[in-house]
Structures are given as C-alpha cells and as structure tokens.
Amino acid sequence: MKKNNFQAIACALLLGSSSMAPLCAQESGDWSMTVGADAVSHYLWRGMELGGPSVQPSAYFDYEKGDWAVSLGVWGTKSLFQNRYGEHYNELDLSVEASWRNLTLSLADYAEGRYFGPWQEGHFLDFGLGLTLSENIPVTFSWYSIINQTFEGVLDGGGFDWQSAFPSYFEVMYDFSISAVDFSVAAGLWPYESVYYENEGFGICNLNLSAGHEFELNHGGTLPVAAQIMYNPTWKEFFWGVSVGYYFSIDL
C-alpha cells in the first residue's frame, strides 16, 4: 500500500506513506525498469502500523514522454516477526499510475495474505487522485478511496451509504531539502466513518515527518536510507521507522 507521487524523494523515502516503489526521472520517450527491495523496521501506512520488521521487494516499468508519465508495478511486503497485534503481515500489490504535469491518477490492488485468495475478502482496489501545486511550491493534495468493497455500503432498509462503501483517506504533503537530506512533512485524515480504517468518523490520523538520502553507487545502483516518525491523533498512538534499500534501473 505504498505510493508517493514525488519523484524528487520517492527513491529515498520508502516507509509507509505510499504503495509503490520509486518512480525515478527518465529520459523523454523511454521505457525503463526499476527493481529493488527495502528492509524496514516497521511497515507504516496512512497513520497505521501494519507490520514490524519486514522485507519489501518491488519491480516497476516506467515510461515518460513530455508531460506524460506511466508506471506499472508490483510491490510486496513480508513480515519477519509478529506485529503489535501478534500477526505476521504479508501483502502483494499490483498498481498502475498515470501522470500529466502536476496531476496524478493511480489504481492499486492491495492483496493481504495470499494473492489468489477470495477476491472480496483479500483484495482492495484503491483509486487515487493527486495534485501538486508546482515545482516551486511542492505541496501535494491526495485523495484515496477503496472502490470494490461496496457490500459494506448496503443498508438494512435497502438504501446505500456511499461513505461506508468507499472508505477514503486525504493527505497534504510538503517536500523540501536541507543540504543532502530530503524531507517530507505530511498530514492525513479520515474524512468519515469507515469499516476499512476502523474509524468512527472524521479524524486526523497521520502527522508524519520523513527524512532520507539516496546514495549513488559506483556500478549505477542506489542505496536509499530513510527514517520517519508518525503520530495518529485519533488513536493517540506514536510510531517510528527506519529503512535501507537497494535499487537499480535498466533502460529498455
């Protein structure tokens, strides 16, 4: 469930705020493939800790031409130990993202547990819409909604509750750099009650500060190192996490 739509820091900030691996800048009109993995101390996502120490491999095919960019990918996470709920959390995601100038559309299939399990029980289709103000003002507004769990929105009287049917998350993020360190400050909220996020109504759920740096290796690979702290005011819970990864890209 990892996806950040910011090319400047996506290769470095690899903990939780988003369900895809980095989309690195490519030459106009070129396809490329990015493959790698992260080792994380905690799997943090949208104000929640989903897993403890985990390995998170990924592979992405990226295409960019002019103002357009497309990314197709697969991302997974495998818990090495039990999380705070006494569970081993595993996940496999397939995703597609299309960007035009400052606007981004995304669709991801989150498969918790086994990918080929029952569709309605283990798969969640997450539709996302993001808008970045400009390169000079790198503030991004993002909205995500789960769109395939509509059975939760059917009321006893035969009506339909669209809020329960489409659990959503909204986030505002600002990116900046100090010297060689890339920072990201984010605030996320649940706009209304949902079963998926287990929230009872509107609530700020994610106050997040991330910092990272991507080391360039001699053979062409990259070694991103990142850390973040996250506070969920609704649950009154504090989380932290660090990560280190290895990635390499191939022009196709």
CB 90 within 8 A of CB 55: no
In Å, what is the CA distance from 9 to each residue of 23, 51, 108, 125, 190?
Answer: 9, 23, 20, 25, 25
pLDDT of residue 19: 40
Dihedral (CA of 142, 19, 14, 60) sign = negative
Q: What is the pLDDT of residues 198-251, one digit of tens each?
A: 888 899 999 999 999 999 998 889 999 999 999 999 999 999 999 999 999 998
Residue at token pair 């997450």: 126
Q: Is residue 203 assigned to a domain?
A: yes
For residue 136, tell me if it sits in a domain: yes
The answer to whether 184 touches 6, Cβ cutoff 8 Å, is yes
Task: At 88, list the tokens.
Answer: 């081993």
Q: Is residue 86 part of a domain?
A: yes
* pLDDT exceeds 50 at position 8: no
Query: Can you tell me the distance from the alpha carbon of 114 to that of 91, in angstroms, rounded to the nearest whole number?
Result: 8
Task: Check residue 17 and give left, alpha or beta (phi > 0: left; psi -120 to 50: alpha).
Answer: alpha
- Which residues constitute the domain of residue 148? 30-251
Question: Does 18 reside within a domain?
Answer: no
Tens digit of each residue's pLDDT (9 = 90 or more) over 136-176: 999 999 999 998 866 555 545 556 666 667 889 999 999 99
pTM of the model: 0.83
Q: Is residue 195 in a domain?
A: yes
Q: Enter the tokens of residue 105.
A: 């559309």
Amino acid at site 211: A
CA distance 51 to 70: 29
Mean pLDDT of 50-69: 94
Residue 117 CA to residue 197 CA, distance in Å, equals: 21
- For 146, residues 6+ apart whose C-beta sits below 8 A from its C-beta are 124, 125, 126, 127, 166, 167, 168, 196
In a domain? residue 12? no
- C-alpha dihedral over 104, 46, 61, 79, to 10 degrees? -170
What is the count of structural domains for the chain?
1
Is pLDDT above 50 for 20?
no
According to DSSP, the residues that pair with 77 across neighbouring strands are: 91
Task: Supply the pLDDT for residue 157.
Answer: 55
Q: What is the CATH number of the domain that holds 125?
A: 2.40.160
Print the SS3 string covering 171-218.
Answer: EEEEEEEECCEEEEEEEEEECCCECCCCECCCEEEEEEEEEEEEEECC
pLDDT grade for 5, boundaries at 50, 70 and 90: very low
- The answer to the question of residue 100 being in a domain is yes
Residue 115: what pLDDT?
66
- Per-residue pLDDT tens over the stretch 90-119: 999 999 999 999 999 999 999 887 666 555
> Is 123 within a domain?
yes
User: What pLDDT shows up at residue 87?
Assistant: 77
- Angle (CA) 208-25-60 rounded to 5° is 80
Classify burial at 63, counting beta carbons within 10 Å of its beta carbon; exposed 0-12, middle 13-18, buried 19 or more. middle
* Radius of gyration (C-alpha) of the chain in whole angstroms: 18
